[in-house]
Amino acid sequence: MINQVYVTETDWLKILSLENAYTEAVKLNQTTGISQYPCIQPIESTLDLFRLPIFISSMRLITYFKQIPEFQQLDEDEQVYLVKLNLLSICFIHSLYIYDPRTDSYHEQDTSDPLFSGKDWIKTLNKQFHLEMKQLRNDLIDIFQMDNIIIKLFFLILLFSHTISSKQSSLCLLTDIDSLSIFKAQNVFTDLAYRYCLYQYGPYRTPMLFARYLSKLTKIQQLVDEIKHTIHDYMDTTQLSPLTQSIVQ
């Protein structure tokens, strides 16, 4: 194992707190009213995709974020802004990590969630989107395998992402945002993720692996951004919950 100087005892405690926060978020958001594991819950339409697996993921991720001190320290408007801006991308990234290629299904580990069939997912939105997401999933796994620590850290790095595309500028104008506070919060997790990678993968491999990983996640953000701005082609968003409506805008 590589020299532990890269990650301090305080760092390990923070990493443990993040893992516990995610576990608690899943526990607090158990599924009800639909089939339970190992049954397959069908997805008949894009509306079903957003009403079921995307909604479940979004509730768990929001609960995870609410337990993070750096998120708690932002004012409410900034918290809402970041969730609206970034949550849908994080939900799709989350879906990549709960996908099992052996069974072509999506299922959160250690839950009573039903299985969601990959064949059903690919019938929603457009086929090209799912093909590109599948390739990106393979690329991400190739870089860091299924490293749960990296995954949870990058959820937070993306949450505090404040890079605004031209398509998102209207959202930015609606809220008085303290960009410096958001950047400082993001830097906490970027720094921790990078030092964890140094510890796990060494000083020679880490810069290349880290850059590749960020590049793939940026591509996912771009794909989801495109989907958000064509979503009305696939469903009537007024039939979604208020939460889901807010993250697809």
Show the tokens assigned to 161.
Answer: 């992402």
> What local confidence, expressed as pLDDT, does residue 144 receive?
83
The pLDDT-based confidence of 18 (bands split at 50, 70, 90) is very high
CA distances from 183 to 70, 115, 121, 142, 167 (A): 11, 37, 34, 29, 21
> What local confidence, expressed as pLDDT, does residue 165 receive?
47
> What local confidence, expressed as pLDDT, does residue 166 receive?
40
Stretch 124-133: mean pLDDT, rounded? 91
Domains delineated in the chain: 4-244 (1.10.565.10)
User: What are 160-194's pLDDT values in tens digits?
Assistant: 998 644 444 445 444 577 788 999 999 999 999 99
> What local confidence, expressed as pLDDT, does residue 54 receive?
96
CA distances from 64 to 18, 61, 168 (A): 8, 5, 24
Stretch 86-96: mean pLDDT, rounded? 94
Strand partners, 40: 115
CA distances from 199 to 3, 138, 154, 190, 193 (A): 6, 24, 17, 14, 10
Query: H-helix or E-strand containing 222?
Result: helix 179-228
> What local confidence, expressed as pLDDT, does residue 162 receive?
80
Mean pLDDT score of the chain, rounded to an integer?
90
Q: What are the phi and psi torsion angles at 159 (to 5°)?
A: -55, -45
The C-alpha atoms of residue 171 and residue 84 are separated, in whole angstroms, by 9
Stretch 77-96: mean pLDDT, rounded? 94
The C-alpha atoms of residue 214 and residue 116 are separated, in whole angstroms, by 27
b/e 121-147 (16+ beta carbons within 10 angstroms → b): bbebbeeebbeebbebbeebeebbeeb
> What local confidence, expressed as pLDDT, does residue 175 receive?
53
Q: Is 177 left (phi over 0), alpha (psi -120 to 50) or beta?
A: beta
Strands 99-100 and 116-117: unpaired
Q: Helix (H, G, I), strand (E, B), or coil: what is residue 10?
A: helix
Query: H-helix or E-strand containing 6?
Result: none
Stretch 110-131: mean pLDDT, rounded? 92
Whether the per-residue pLDDT at 83 is higher than 90: the answer is: yes
